[in-house]
């Protein structure tokens, strides 16, 4: 981000605070999040679409009460996908009508709570859920705004585990075979549901806009079929999230305004061709807002050179604070941030402290050959899906999230303690 610099001794400074001070005050590992960067990315997304669209930040990427307040202040909406995320959002004052509730297996209790709270939309994910939500809304004497999530049959070019638009998977209702049209038919018949639109999310960490183009084309095709069959033009479409960010210098992400322009053009063009009123668009970026805003600060422990292979650099965290390398073969970069070094670079692998050989944070990296225990290293772009997917494996304590801004640091999620761990242990 813009506020990251190096001082004369090579010490990294972010938001006006140097990492040695952060490590002293808050310990390591720690996620260090640049609040100004977060806010400016959130704002860039909101302003990119002007008033023609709604931006729902995907809370699964990283959610805390501070984040909810920032989003609220910046005029973004929020996508939640569990009762826990919903509770966090509501407790931090996000107005319920600006919350969208997702998930392929929302429980009856979760649905009831969302309807009672008055969430702006529930994204229906199956035939059973159409009936379930309708029933609960009727019981509560209300009419719930809903979207139907469909799978458009696009192969997104990303890791299999994070691609979500092909049909053979658990999310959504397939467009194929008239299933989505049938879902719409049923939803329109139920008085306690107000069907406001169609939803499609094709996957994550996507750079190529062509998948979104195909998705938009097919969603608009469905809107047209709905108009022809029922005489109603649904007012909204949601194209999901999934926009890629730069994890390493090989990635070349697109800016929000380019994405907004491309999506708006596709939808407008498709609607004109189908003689439909252009629906209001919504998007759900998670990673693209929070991913680049944080890095993980680790202290180097054991440094183990293996002759002819590489040097294993162990840090004080690992797969418990970043599971993405083990899970998706994700690529990250890493640098020495507590000093400068003129030493020859060495081929390194940054690994954690867990009892597992797959506990790798950065698979291949060049680090200075004089790297030593006590040095601080930073892994950038860990704002999304690292703290939110963190675990207590090996009873390692989950790191804090420290927000920095204007020379001030503030803990927004504190470090876990042994008491936290033991609190759940009964007997
Ligand atoms: N909307 C829906 C319906 C989603 O399922 C997701 C992500 C998003 C929005 C936000 O996607 P984003 O813009 O953050 O890519 N844990 C994985 C990614 C799984 C994401 C699941 N859904 C990872 O670490 O890459």
Select from 255, 290, 325 the last residue of a domain.
290
Pairing of strands 12-14, 408-413: unpaired
Give distance in angstroms: CA of 163 to centre of ligand 1. 9
Same domain, 260 and 222: yes
Task: Identify the burial level of 177 via C-beta atoms within 10 angstroms of its C-beta, where 0-12 means exposed, 13-18 middle and 19 or more buried.
Answer: exposed
Are the beta carbons of 155 and 177 closer than 8 angstroms? no
Test site for ligand 1: of 204, 284, 381, 391, most ligand atoms within 8 A of the Cβ: 204
141 and 107 part of one domain: yes
Residues 188 and 131 reside in one and the same domain: yes
DSSP notation for 182-212:
HHHHHHHH-TTEEEEEEE---BSSB--THHH
Same domain for 192 and 321?
no
Read off the CATH number of the domain in which 204 is found.
3.20.20.10
The rounded distance, in Å, linking the Cα atoms of 5 and 285 is 27
* Same-domain check for residues 172 and 230: yes
Q: How far is the CA of 385 from the centre of ligand 1 (A)?
A: 9
260 and 116 within one domain? yes
CA of 286 to the centre of ligand 1 (A): 7
Query: 355 catalytic, yes or no?
Result: yes
Alpha helices in 153-286 (DSSP H): 179-189, 210-230, 256-273
Cα-only R_g, the chain: 23
**Residue that terminates a domain, selected from 247, 270, 290:** 290
Q: Quick one: 122 and 246 in the same domain?
A: yes
13 and 50 co-located in one domain: no
**Count of structural domains within the chain:** 2
| ipTM of model | 0.99
Find out whether the beta carbon of 58 lies less than 6 Å from any atom of ligand 1: yes
Picking from 225, 256, 290, the residue at the C-terminal end of a domain is 290
Q: Which atom of ligand 1 is nearest to the CA of 385?
A: 24
Closest atom of ligand 1 to CA, residue 388: 16
Residues 313 and 274 in one domain: no
Q: So what's the pLDDT on residue 160?
A: 58
User: Domain holding 12: CATH number?
Assistant: 2.40.37.10
Same-domain status, 174 and 251: yes
**What's the CA dihedral at 388, 389, 390, 395 to 10 degrees?**
130
Are 192 and 132 in a shared domain?
A: yes
pLDDT per residue rounded down to tens, the chain (427 residues): 657 899 989 999 999 999 999 999 999 999 999 999 999 999 999 999 988 899 999 999 999 999 999 999 999 999 999 999 999 999 999 999 999 999 999 999 999 999 999 999 999 999 999 999 999 999 999 999 999 999 998 866 665 555 666 778 899 999 999 999 999 999 999 999 999 999 999 999 998 888 899 999 999 999 999 999 999 999 999 999 999 999 998 898 999 999 999 999 999 999 999 999 999 999 999 999 999 999 999 999 999 999 999 999 999 999 999 999 999 999 999 999 999 999 999 999 999 999 999 999 999 999 999 999 999 999 999 999 999 999 999 999 999 999 999 999 999 999 999 999 999 999 8
| Judgement on whether residues 300 and 250 belong to the same structural domain of the protein | no
Taking alpha carbons only, the member of 114, 148, 153 closest to residue 128 is: 148
Task: Read off the pLDDT of residues 176-203 as tens digits, 9 standing for 90 and up.
Answer: 999 999 999 999 999 999 999 999 999 9
Range of the domain at 116: 35-290
């Amino acid at each position: 981000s813009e506020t990251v610099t190096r001082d004369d001794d090579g010490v990294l400074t972010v938001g006006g605070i140097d990492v040695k001070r952060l490590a002293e005050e808050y310990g390591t590992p720690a996620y260090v999040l640049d609040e100004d960067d977060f806010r400016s990315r959130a704002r860039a997304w909101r302003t990119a679409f002007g008033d023609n669209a709604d931006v729902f930040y995907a809370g699964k990427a990283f959610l805390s009460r501070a984040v909810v307040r920032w989003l609220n202040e910046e005029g973004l909406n929020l996508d939640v996908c569990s009762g826990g995320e919903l509770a966090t959002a509501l407790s931090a004052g996000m107005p319920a009508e600006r919350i969208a509730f997702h998930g392929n297996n929302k429980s009856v209790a979760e649905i009831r709570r969302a309807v009672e709270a008055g969430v702006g939309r529930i994204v229906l994910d199956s035939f059973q859920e159409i009936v379930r939500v309708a029933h609960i809304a009727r019981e509560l004497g209300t009419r719930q705004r809903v979207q139907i999530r469909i799978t458009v049959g696009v192969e997104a070019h990303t890791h299999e585990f994070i691609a979500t638009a092909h049909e053979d998977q658990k999310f959504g209702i397939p467009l194929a075979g008239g299933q989505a049209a049938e879902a719409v038919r049923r939803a329109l018949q139920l008085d306690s549901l107000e069907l406001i639109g169609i939803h499609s999310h094709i996957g994550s960490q996507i750079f190529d806009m062509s998948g979104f183009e195909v998705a938009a084309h097919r969603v608009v095709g469905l809107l047209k079929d709905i108009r022809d069959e029922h005489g109603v033009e649904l007012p909204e479409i949601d194209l999901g999230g999934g926009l890629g960010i730069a994890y390493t210098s090989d990635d070349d992400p697109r800016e929000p305004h380019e994405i907004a322009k491309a999506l708006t053009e596709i939808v407008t063009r498709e609607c004109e061709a189908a003689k439909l009123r252009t629906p209001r668009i919504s998007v759900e970026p998670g990673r693209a807002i929070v991913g680049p805003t944080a890095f993980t600060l680790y202290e180097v422990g054991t440094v183990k050179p293996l002759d002819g292979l590489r040097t294993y650099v162990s840090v004080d965290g690992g797969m418990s604070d970043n599971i993405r390398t083990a899970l998706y073969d994700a690529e990250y970069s890493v640098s020495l941030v507590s000093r400068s070094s003129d030493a020859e670079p060495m081929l390194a692998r940054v690994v954690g402290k867990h009892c597992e050989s797959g506990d790798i944070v950065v698979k291949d990296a060049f680090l200075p050959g004089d790297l030593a225990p006590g040095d601080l290293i930073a892994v950038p772009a860990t704002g999304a899906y690292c703290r939110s997917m963190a675990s207590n494996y090996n009873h390692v304590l989950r790191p804090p999230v420290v927000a920095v801004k204007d020379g001030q640091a503030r803990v927004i999620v504190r470090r876990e303690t042994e008491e936290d761990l033991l609190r759940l242990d009964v007997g």
